[in-house]
Chains A and B, each alone.
Chain A
């Protein structure tokens, strides 16, 4: 096979811009005449705004407006598009969660707006509210399918789980809990809105998807979609919270309209707790039975998760149990509980991260009860086909991941032997990782310019995973050019439409579209050459033309892309293509899989846990760029460490307010928390998943990690922690 550019571990092409500080993020776009917006937020979790004193703020020099529900421009439409998050945009006096926007100060300067915001006094009328799951669990309800991931139904049953449990030689019936978490990308949410006339809007937004932002703004301001343009060239991380446009995006546009100036609105770090979503709390009951050989006889996974009073977000935690193990008798269910909190949202590996913790902990508990190697137990119920959908997997290399992970890690199971080293308790654990392979409609445009370079565009965004780089690689191969003669651009709603960067689908969707557009352009150029009287290739058969480095060769004669374009008049030659899932794809169950192995050290006196070594082996289809993929998997695995040991959004349950509202109180992993992280791949060739053969690797790294760590902590200490994070108090 010809060596390709795709798959090569190239350094990221946006690296230069990022290491010099030249890369401009959404808050850094320079717009002349821009004014600054700063939000004021609610204190109470539920109630009404009685009055807002704005006089002091308004008197400050440079303040252009203090926008409150009283004087805010009325939006023509307050409904959000389907499957989008409900927002609070100063249209009424209701307070539906703490830290909700209640006023917006707009001023000439940032410090002016910050100062004036402190002078705004909000009088609230509090109503009874609760953020405690136990207060409302009696009202748990079955969510609508559309709020469930992938529009799947909330419940699913196969066989007879009750009987499977009765007949089991060993049973585990335990409840696991995962806490509220907050994404905390390092770049705060930022929106700059510019009206170019009364009905034309341009927005620079820190978002994971420009088309979703465009749709929501167009709807709420009753504008034709084409009148709204959204741009995002660099995003400083997203992880889900920048997946749907939140209140501040609409408010920036509203304020810009109201004051008649472009407005830049950047959230403060404390404002990112609540207003822009977070992972909901889950409580999951696992009832698992197995026979003496460790083969599962029943698997029941019931999950309850929290949502707001006014919107449904379902964390599909039990879904992972539908695809993981061969088992005749299975039941999964999801219920929602409404609390006086802001609406949660997708956070890195929604469902799989939380559900995987419960499932993979329960499997470990079962293995321990059976005195079995937990890896052997997993192999005893290895799913050769999807156990719920009765479909074959498009590809599944989990067995190889287990074997390779065990070998790399040096996995040797000897029941439970609490080991000590340097006064520390040492433990090992493992767990399975998995994440669905999503593929959505995407379009790309490939254009050959007269200088023989190509410009390929698709309106995806690059959250840091490397979209700029890998799409350039794919495009170069598809067209037949070296990397340095291809430019890939993204992040603009005027470009061909691409899905939002979430659910690990950008590489699969966008690369497929780029591949098809690139090939179409190449074929078109060949067709033009062989039909062109001025071409040395005139009369050649298109299928005998070989292409390399922008040159076409047949029968010893050559022509170049550049010359074809020039002879045709010099206007760029272009082709557009669309990729998307077809009927044939539905025949397959499509997932990435992996296995993680971990060694932990636990301080017996302080209860402090350290991850000494974390080895993960993942099979995610074709890897477009191993250097970037490894880096992303490492990041995911470290998120798993954070989830296992540190991260928790803590509410003051009396007042319904988040207490951990900055990076000092909300612990994201720091250097000291990370020792040896080793991600590896098993390459897969999967012709069913999508044209690019990619399953996506943005999320799988975090799945299974927390369970592997909890299992290792149990191995070290004999203590089973079923509620994350595993903080020292839970071990002492």
Chain B
């Protein structure tokens, strides 16, 4: 089936299987490999993207559900310069192997955009759906809080 998606600001028209996972459309068809697959079952958050501003796990979204919607991936968060949140992840050591990082940053950005106060509790809640096997999380929470201080 042919459908239109707005991906990182530009409209893309695709000929795809309607039940194909949005994750695979991004990674395999559009070569937007910044979005990662950790589990394929909605447990790890590595595949997180924004769908009309909502945080979703793209491994659980059939591409037809995204028809006509706007999708923002990690590649769409920054243009030439890094965002404050991306800078904070580099500075604070929020990334080690980096596989969870795009999902963490998309979830973190979604939280920052909500304008909520970046308390420990709130940040942890915001990324409760994202697993990291390397960092032990502390640095990720710090990265988001650091970016919150920078931008507000």
A20 touches B24 (CB 8 A): no
Shortest distance between the CB of A639 and any CB in chain B (Å): 8
Pick the contact of B90: A19, A466, A631, A634 (CB < 8 A). A19
Contact with B along A116-138 (1 / 0, CB 8 A): 00000000000000000000000
Pick the contact of B136: A27, A187, A677 (CB < 8 A). A677
A30 touches B82 (CB 8 A): no
B44 touches A663 (CB 8 A): yes
Chain B CB within 8 A of A668 CB: yes
Q: Which residues of chain B are near A463, meaning CB under 8 Å?
A: 97
Q: Which residues of chain A are near B43, meaning CB under 8 Å?
A: 662-664
A20 touches B78 (CB 8 A): yes
Pick the contact of A187: B36, B40, B102 (CB < 8 A). B36
Chain B CB within 8 A of A635 CB: yes
Q: Which residues of chain A are near B34, meaning CB under 8 Å?
A: 20-22
B20 touches A635 (CB 8 A): no
A21 touches B46 (CB 8 A): no
Among residues of A, the one whose C-beta sits closest to the C-beta of B125 is A671
Within 8 A of A (CB), among B79-93: 82, 86, 89-91, 93
B128 touches A464 (CB 8 A): no
Q: Which residues of chain B are near A24, meaning CB under 8 Å?
A: 33
Chain A CB within 8 A of B112 CB: no
A185 touches B133 (CB 8 A): yes
Q: Which residues of chain A are near B69, meaning CB under 8 Å?
A: none
Check A677/B138 contact, CB under 8 A, given A11-B90, A186-B131, A632-B96.
Answer: yes
A111 touches B17 (CB 8 A): yes
Q: Which residues of chain A are near B96, meaning CB under 8 Å?
A: 237, 464-466, 631-632, 635
Alpha-carbon separation in the docked complex, A630 to B139 (Å):
10
Pick the contact of B40: A109, A235, A269 (CB < 8 A). A269
Chain B CB within 8 A of A637 CB: yes
Within 8 A of A (CB), among B91-150: 91, 93, 95-102, 105, 124, 127-128, 130-139, 141
B99 touches A237 (CB 8 A): yes
Shortest distance between the CB of B61 and any CB in chain A (Å): 14
Chain B CB within 8 A of A377 CB: no
A188 touches B128 (CB 8 A): no
Q: Which residues of chain B are near A109, meaning CB under 8 Å?
A: 28
Shortest distance between the CB of B7 and any CB in chain A (Å): 13
Check A236/B136 contact, CB under 8 A, given A12-B90, A16-B90, A21-B73.
Answer: no
Chain B CB within 8 A of A670 CB: yes
Among residues of A, the one whose C-beta sits closest to the C-beta of B21 is A111
Chain A CB within 8 A of B31 CB: yes
Chain A CB within 8 A of B35 CB: yes
A186 touches B38 (CB 8 A): yes
B127 touches A671 (CB 8 A): yes
A184 touches B33 (CB 8 A): no
Shortest distance between the CB of B96 and any CB in chain A (Å): 4
Among residues of A, the one whose C-beta sits closest to the C-beta of B75 is A21
A269 touches B135 (CB 8 A): no
Alpha-carbon separation in the docked complex, A16 to B83 (Å):
11
B35 touches A21 (CB 8 A): yes
Q: Which residues of chain A are near B41, meaning CB under 8 Å?
A: 269, 662-664
Check A28/B27 contact, CB under 8 A, given A638-B137, A671-B127, A672-B124.
Answer: yes
Alpha-carbon separation in the docked complex, A670 to B38 (Å):
14
Q: Which residues of chain B are near A184, meaning CB under 8 Å?
A: 133
Taking each of A22, A266, A631, which has the highest tally of chain B beta carbons within 10 Å of its own beta carbon?
A631
Alpha-carbon separation in the docked complex, A465 to B137 (Å):
15
A670 touches B131 (CB 8 A): yes
Q: Which residues of chain A are near B14, meaning CB under 8 Å?
A: none
Taking each of B37, B127, B133, B137, which has the highest tally of chain A beta carbons within 10 Å of its own beta carbon?
B133
Count how many chain B residues have C-beta atoms less than 8 Å from C-beta atoms of the other chain.
53
Within 8 A of B (CB), among A596-644: 627-628, 630-632, 634-639
The interface size bin for chain A is: 35 or more
Q: Main secondary structure on chain B at its contact with chain A?
A: loop
A19 touches B105 (CB 8 A): yes
Contact with A along B36-71 (1 / 0, CB 8 A): 111111011010000000000000000000000000
Pick the contact of A631: B86, B93, B141 (CB < 8 A). B93
A18 touches B136 (CB 8 A): no
Chain B CB within 8 A of A494 CB: no
Q: Which residues of chain B are near A464, meaning CB under 8 Å?
A: 95-98, 134
Pick the contact of A186: B128, B133, B141 (CB < 8 A). B133
Within 8 A of B (CB), among A22-80: 22-25, 27-28, 30
Alpha-carbon separation in the docked complex, A632 to B86 (Å):
20
Chain B CB within 8 A of A423 CB: no
Shortest distance between the CB of A118 and any CB in chain B (Å): 13
Q: Which residues of chain B are near A668, meaning CB under 8 Å?
A: 131, 133
Chain B CB within 8 A of A655 CB: no
Among residues of A, the one whose C-beta sits closest to the C-beta of B103 is A186
A630 touches B93 (CB 8 A): yes
Shortest distance between the CB of B92 and any CB in chain A (Å): 9
A20 touches B95 (CB 8 A): no
Chain B CB within 8 A of A682 CB: no
Among residues of B, the one whose C-beta sits closest to the C-beta of A679 is B136
Among residues of A, the one whose C-beta sits closest to the C-beta of B43 is A663
Shortest distance between the CB of B24 and any CB in chain A (Å): 6
Shortest distance between the CB of B74 and any CB in chain A (Å): 4
Q: Which residues of chain B are near A23, meaning CB under 8 Å?
A: 98
Alpha-carbon separation in the docked complex, A662 to B40 (Å):
10
B99 touches A187 (CB 8 A): yes
Q: Which residues of chain A are near B5, meaning CB under 8 Å?
A: none
Q: Which residues of chain B are near A670, meaning CB under 8 Å?
A: 128, 131, 137
Alpha-carbon separation in the docked complex, A186 to B99 (Å):
7
Check A21/B40 contact, CB under 8 A, given A184-B133, A186-B46, A671-B137.
Answer: no
A663 touches B33 (CB 8 A): no
Check A186/B75 contact, CB under 8 A, given A663-B39, A671-B124, A671-B137.
Answer: no
Q: Which residues of chain A are near B127, meaning CB under 8 Å?
A: 671
Shortest distance between the CB of A685 and any CB in chain B (Å): 25
Beyond known contacts A27-B37, A28-B33, A635-B135: 11 more, CB 8 A cutoff: A12-B90, A18-B95, A21-B35, A24-B33, A30-B31, A111-B24, A186-B38, A632-B96, A664-B43, A672-B128, A674-B138
* Nearest 7 Cβ contacts at the A-B interface: A21-B34, A464-B97, A236-B99, A18-B98, A638-B136, A15-B90, A464-B96
Q: Can you show 19 pairs from A to B with CB atoms below 8 A apart?
A: A11-B90, A15-B89, A19-B89, A19-B98, A20-B75, A20-B82, A20-B86, A25-B99, A110-B28, A186-B36, A186-B132, A187-B99, A234-B97, A236-B99, A237-B99, A464-B95, A631-B96, A663-B39, A674-B137
